[in-house]
Chains A and B, each alone.
Chain A
Amino acid sequence: DSGVTQTPKHLITATGQRVTLRCSPRSGDLSVYWYQQSLDQGLQFLIQYYNGEERAKGNILERFSAQQFPDLHSELNLSSLELGDSALYFCASSTGQGRSYEQYFGPGTRLTVT
């Protein structure tokens, strides 16, 4: 158990809908990262927050957004969903931002868009 929690574990929804994925980082970790894992793209970085502020963006679509709240939990919002958004979404957290800090991953949320 990494100490990072994600809810829900599974999500099935229809095209055009909007969903919110939730992540609670390990106690004391200020940095939260979101990744998408799909069969064709592999594991890709989406976005990073540090202590409530957005710090880095990766291959995140404009239909996707995220935020980190004062209690440090984070939410990833996916809207106007398409079939291609079906994937496993991971949240990770780390104590700091430096390159040597380990990222601890949650169990993931499996999103299926039908």
Chain B
Amino acid sequence: GDSVTQMEGPVTLSEEAFLTINCTYTATGYPSLFWYVQYPGEGLQLLLKATKADDKGSNKGFEATYRKETTSFHLEKGSVQVSDSAVYFCALRGGSNYKLTFGKGTLLTVNP
């Protein structure tokens, strides 16, 4: 079945540091890939998405590129802010299965 593996946290960075959160997936066919963010005490918000190979999703300074050859969708941001502190989830949606399959989430803490 479909599965998503993302790097275990927690990740702690200083403000303005570079962020990478690794995400790899296993799926049949051509899934769509997503990054969701969950701020403390809140629901999930869609951060960005990519629906086909080599697509780059971007939003709020975050980027991720759909790499079919390495089945990866790593999240990056060049300069993190304290307000980026949250849990980040990589997810896929593919084939005839319309559900989202999530990774376990990565807690990011950014210190001033």
Q: Chain A interface (Cβ within 8 Å of chain B)?
A: 2, 4, 31, 33, 35, 42-45, 48, 55-56, 58, 90, 92, 97-100, 102-108
Number of A-B contacts (CB under 8 A): 59
Q: Sort chain B's interface into a size bin.
A: 20 to 34
Is the beta-carbon distance between A99 and B99 smaller than 8 angstroms? no
Which of B51, B100, B103 makes the CB contact (< 8 A) with A45?
A: B100
Which of A2, A55, A99, A108 makes the CB contact (< 8 A) with B95?
A: A99
Q: How far is the CA of A58 from the CA of B45 in the complex (A)?
A: 22
How many Å from the CB of A8 to the closest CB on chain B?
14
Q: Chain B interface (Cβ within 8 Å of chain A)?
A: 30-32, 34, 36, 42-46, 49, 51, 89, 93-95, 97-105
Is the beta-carbon distance between A48 and B46 smaller than 8 angstroms? no
